[in-house]
Amino acid sequence: MNIAPKSSFVLSRRHLLGIEGLSREEILGLLDLAEEFVALNRQIEKKRASLRGRTQINLFFEASTRTQSSFELAGKRLGADVMNMAVSQSAMRKGETLIDTAITLNAMHPDILVVRHHASGAVELLASKLDCSVINAGDGAHEHPTQALLDALTIRRNRNRLEGLLVAICGDITHSRVARSNILLLNSMGARVRVVAPSTLLPVGIERLGVEVARDMREGLADADVVMMLRLQKERMNGSYVPSMSEYFHYFGLDEKKLAYAKPGALVMHPGPMNRGVEIDSAVADGAQSVIREQVEMGVAVRMAVLEALSRNLPNA
């Protein structure tokens, strides 16, 4: 691979609120920078000082183990002071609004705020009231940009490219921010995206987002280079979107038989946490084609890249 001077890559924007609006060059810059951190993270000495003196607050309005710890580790490895704030629903019920929280936090002079919120657009709203950099760690069913970046990095490391690959995203598209960010990123990088789900889990108008639509796994996985499974968000199922978990697994759960519809050796991915036996069979999740554990590793590297690239654009950097 031809290597540009990656370490000088700066994300010339204050926030990372979504994949939407990122240029191809910015995406590539982040992925290349993340590659460096993959190497760093495999060393014994993982520490860098690029965020030394900086304060990073992880503000999670929605519980998350994986993403929060990944961001925490990423910040710490870059030398930032990292604080985790889990804002429980009860605190919000006491009457403090999102904006109040923003104003309070702003007074503490953080440099970078990592935010997850259960409502689409909430992170953007928060960012508009803050002086620091804001990273979207997932807002409702809207975007989850670092997930899409880590997915892209995982695919690229295994296939050496993104362009021209066919990626099948399967499952609860309606409620999935992972799906939206991945669709945007993969389209931007010249991959083909196909969404596969029962019609109740496909938002009306999804085909206008530049994806192919399939409603069964045989058709959906045909020729796929990558099979990306989504968690079936049980807790968000207010309506009866699917009749039962077992019917869902029967038609849409990824087992070895359905995986065989895809290209031989197709990558199996899942953003986690997995519902084994609901959307994915253990044999596949732990099988030879699975890169699910690698995704977690890439997560830390990508988040370090985002933190580093954004911090280079901070005042007094």
Partner 1 sequence: MLSDRHPILLANARIIDPSRDLDITGDLLIADGVIREAKKGIGAAGVPEGTDVVDCRGKLVAPGLVDMRAFIGEPGAGHRETLASASQAAAAGGVTTIICQPDTSPAIDNPATVDFVLRRARDTAIVHVHPMAALTKGLGGQEMTEIGLLKAAGAVAFTDGEKTVENAQVMRRALTYARDFGALIVHHTEDKNLVGDGVMNEGEFAARLGLLGVPKAAETVVLERDLRLVALTDGRYHAASITCGESLEVLRRAKDDGLNVTASVSINHLALNENDIGPYRTFLKMSPPLRAEDDRKLMVDALSNGLVDVVMSDHNPQDVETKRLPFAEAAPGAIGLETMLVAGLRLVHNGELDIKVLLRAMSTRPAELLGLSGGTLKSGAPADVIVIDPEVPWLLDPAELKSKCKNTPFDEARMQGRVLRTIVGGRTVYEYV
Positions in the binding site for partner 1 (CB under 8 A): 97-99, 117, 119-122, 124-125, 139-143, 174, 177, 180, 203-206, 208-209, 238-239
Residues in contact with 70: Cβ distance below 8 Å, sequence separation at least 6, in sequence order? 296, 299, 300, 303
In angstroms, the CA 1 to CA 17 distance is 29
In the structure encoding, which two tokens stand for residue 125, read together?
């709203």
31 vs 169, beta carbon nearer partner 1: 169
Placement of tokens 């699910």 in the chain: 292
What minimum distance in Å lies between the beta carbon of 183 and partner 1? 10
137 vs 280, beta carbon nearer partner 1: 137
What minimum distance in Å lies between the beta carbon of 152 and partner 1? 19
In angstroms, the CA 133 to CA 56 distance is 9
94 vs 208, beta carbon nearer partner 1: 208
Contact 87, 101 (CB under 8 A): yes
200 vs 282, beta carbon nearer partner 1: 200
59 vs 268, beta carbon nearer partner 1: 59
Residues in contact with 201: Cβ distance below 8 Å, sequence separation at least 6, in sequence order? 171, 172, 173, 174, 175, 241, 242
Of 285, 296, 314, give the one whose Cα is nearest residue 146: 296
Dihedral pair phi/psi, residue 139, rounded to 5°: -125, 110
